[in-house]
Amino acid sequence: MKDKVNTDNFKKRKNSAYNATIKRIFMLMAKHRLRFAASICLAVAVVAATLLVPVLTGEAVDSIISEGNVDFEKLIKIILYIIILMFICAVSRYAMDVINNLIAYDMLKDIRIKAFSKLQKLPVGFIDSTSHGSIINRLINDVNKLSEGLLLGFTQFFTGILTIVLTLILIFRVSAGIGMAVVGLTPLSMVVAFFIAKKTHTYFKNQSICQADMAGVVNEMIEGISCIKAFGTESKICRVFESADEKLRQSALNAIFFQSITNPATRFINSSIYALVGIVGALSVIKGGMSIGQLAAVLSYAVQYSKPFNEISAVFAELQNSVVCASRVFSIIDETEVPADRESAVELKKVSGNVILKDVEFSYNKGREFIKNLNIEAGKGQHIAIVGPTGCGKTTIINLLMRFYEMDSGEMFIDGINAMNIKRNSLAGSYGMVLQDTWLKSGTIKENIAMSKPGAGIDEIKRAAKEAYADGFISRLPNGYDTVIGHDGGNLSSGEKQLLCIARVMLNLPTMLILDEATSSLDTMTEMRIKKAFDKMMEQRTSFVVAHRLSTITSADIILVMKDGNIIERGKHEELLKLNGFYSQLYNSQYG
Ligand SMILES: Nc1ncnc2c1ncn2[C@@H]1O[C@H](COP(=O)(O)OP(=O)(O)O)[C@@H](O)[C@H]1O
Ligand SMILES: [Mg+2]
């Protein structure tokens, strides 16, 4: 009983969310109401022109009465009318398509830009906790699906409904009896349209999902080829591929089965309607109820009448799908943004680099406390090292320093100014950051370095690269600074990518620095080289350095030793060793 109430509630909520999404799509469409009005007028013109042709053909037939008794004058006039109607139909159809595409793509552009710019205003926490694939999917594929649905809806829905209504009116005008017969057979068309056509649609959708799954397997295989070979899991991934392949085969066969019966079933119904109209019509012609030309017209209406049913049902299925896709895109647009800067927030001008964290508490999961009672004081130009086992909260402290995450309580001061009163961009801009994961964009080496200082000249760039010890390898590249790399750095080694990122920070050195495991993935030789670059970079700059290999931070002014979210020891290297506590344990485990 309770379960039923729960599912009912769930359904209600789902339905109201669905309706809200539809309402929202309509509101977006409302912006284009003039274009819509034009599109509907054009749809009326298309359908009316199409349906008038049989009437004229009927009249043409009636003007050919017997040999020697043909009204040529009327016949030529009718042929002329038909040509004009076909021309109107073609032009209107073209204009309608153009307008519909304009509406759909303008709407989508709006939605996409809104979602994309929203992404940049979301807390880092949202991006961290949402699968990147799903975000990309929502911005690209879901928006595409929405456009397909909308376009299909605009083009086929109006014309379909109009065709059905106008055809019926025209048939009834000629003969009420035939009209009744056609209406009587309508449920048959409905069955085909709403059962078979819908099933076909569902299976085709399944088929494309299976195709995407298969693409995923292939992608995983290509990206992880070395791992797969190393672990000898070739046969396992082959089995995964085979099962994905089998699923694809099944859904493709199902889709094709239903698609194959749609056509014969539709034909069968069309033929039935045609035969019925033919028989009833012939009887009525004999009795003098209508002319042969009228019968010809009514017969061609009978053929056109049942066609739109299939189209409309396909539109419905596609639209339902579109609404689901739209709701996924809207969910990004509706995410809570990072709160705006306070009115009173200031821009940091000349930072001297005095950073204080006072009584800070923070947790990612509000039910599980993590960092408590955190106090750090970094004087101007001091080097603060943060060490501790994986997962102890080193990166979390960096996240708090950059305000990527907001602390739950406590305060942070930069040069005595409360961080809440500093503009976010200005705070983040006061730090130069080098992380373990390098971030490059597709473009030339030159462009990648110049990112920190747009418009920097080549001399400046080269100087920064020299200071970062990156000039050596760049000069050895075939195109030097103009070498184009992909966003993954192409064939550069991880050390070389790291050097590029350091050169970028070197080019425009802020007063404060953050290095989070920047050298952890490098070999010791490269690390030694980069350390020289770092030392140069950190000269007289307040720096927070997270390091895995303790040998790289022994000269730090303060070493913070962390464990499970807490700083358990702090001091200089020698002091900490003397303490004979956790730090000396860590140090001895590496170098003892
Ligand atoms: N975005 C996040 N959401 C939830 N938990 C997180 C998030 N980032 C890190 N954590 C968790 O917080 C703890 C500290 O992580 P982190 O500060 O990255 O450790 P590290 O000292 O290795 O840099 C870990 O247990 C980690 O799983
Ligand atoms: Mg970390």
User: Could you say which ligand is closest to the alpha carbon of residue 366?
Assistant: 1
Residue whose Cα lies nearest atom 16 of ligand 1: it is 393
- The three state secondary structure string of 160-172 is HHHHHHHHHHHHH
Using an 8 Å Cβ cutoff, are 421 and 344 in contact?
yes
Distance of alpha carbon 77 from alpha carbon 64, whole angstroms = 13
Nearest-CA residue for atom 3 of ligand 1: 364
Identify which of 413, 414, 409, 403 has the alpha carbon closest to the alpha carbon of residue 370: 409
309 phi/psi in degrees, rounded to 5: -60, -45
Per-residue pLDDT band for 115 (boundaries 50, 70, 90) equals: very high
Query: Ligand 2 mean position to 20 CA, how many Å?
Result: 41
Side chain identity at residue 442, one-letter code: S
Report residue 45's pLDDT band, with 50, 70 and 90 as the boundaries.
very high
Distance of CA 135 to the CA centre of its chain: 5
Q: Which atom of ligand 1 is nearest to the CA of 394?
A: 21
Provide the CA 322 distance to its chain's centre, in angstroms: 14
pLDDT given at position 377: 94
Angle, CA of 159, 170 and 90, to the nearest 5°:
40
CA dihedral 263, 266, 269, 275 (to 10 degrees): -70
CATH number of 355-591: 3.30.360.10, 3.40.50.2000, 1.10.10.10, 3.40.50.300?
3.40.50.300
Name the residue with tokens 């200089």: 572
391 C-alpha to ligand 1 centroid (Å):
6
Give the largest Cα separation in the chain, rounded: 124
Cα–ligand 2 centroid distance for 311 (angstroms): 55
What's the one-letter identity of residue 571? Answer: G
Whether the pLDDT of residue 81 is over 80: the answer is yes
Report which protein residue has its CA nearest ligand 1's atom 25: 391
Q: Do the Cβ atoms of 585 and 550 come closer than 8 Å? A: no
What are 566's strand-pairing partners?
A: 563
Residue 565 alpha carbon, nearest atom of ligand 1: 14
Mean pLDDT of 220-224: 82
Measured from the alpha carbon of residue 369, the closest ligand is 1
Residues with CB under 6 A from ligand 1: 125, 128-129, 364, 390-396
Ligand closest in space to the Cα of 435: 2
Nearest protein CA to atom 4 of ligand 1, as residue: 364
CA of 543 to the centre of ligand 2 (A): 16
Q: What's the CATH number for 11-175+290-333?
A: 1.20.1560.10
CA distance 76 to 58: 14
Collect all residues with Cβ–Cβ distance below 8 Å to 586 and sequence separation of at least 6.
387, 388, 389, 550, 561
User: pLDDT, tens digit, for every residue of 412-430?
Assistant: 999 999 999 999 989 988 9
Q: For residues 57 and 82, is the Cβ–Cβ distance under 8 A? A: yes
Task: Look at residue 2 and tell me whether its pLDDT is greater than 60.
Answer: no
Could you tell which of 130, 363, 395 is best to mutate to test the pocket of ligand 1, judged by most ligand atoms within 8 Å of the CB? Answer: 395
Length of the chain: 592
Q: What is the mean pLDDT of residues 555-569?
A: 93
pLDDT value, residue 7: 63
Structural domain boundaries in the chain: 11-175+290-333, 355-591
Atom 10 in ligand 1: which residue has the minimum CA distance?
A: 364
Whether 505 and 452 have beta carbons less than 8 Å apart is answered as yes
Distance of CA 431 to the CA centre of its chain: 31
Residue 394's nearest CA partner among 377, 414, 370, 413 is 370
Task: Please identify, by atom number, the ligand 1 atom nearest to the C-alpha of residue 562.
Answer: 21
Asked if domains 11-175+290-333 and 355-591 share a fold, the reply is no
The ligand 1 atom at the shortest distance from the C-alpha of residue 392 is 21
Cβ proximity of 75 and 64 under 8 Å: yes
Residue whose CA is at the smallest distance from ligand 1 atom 9? 396
Q: What percent of the chain shows pLDDT beyond 70?
A: 97
At 292, give phi and psi (nearest 5°): -65, -35
Q: What is the pLDDT of residues 294-315, one digit of tens each?
A: 888 888 888 788 778 877 877 8
Atom of ligand 1 nearest to the CA of 128: 1
Contacts of 203 (CB under 8 A, 6+ apart): 251, 254, 255, 258
Tell me the C-alpha to C-alpha distance, in Å, between residue 518 and each of 12, 434, 501, 502, 577.
51, 6, 10, 9, 24
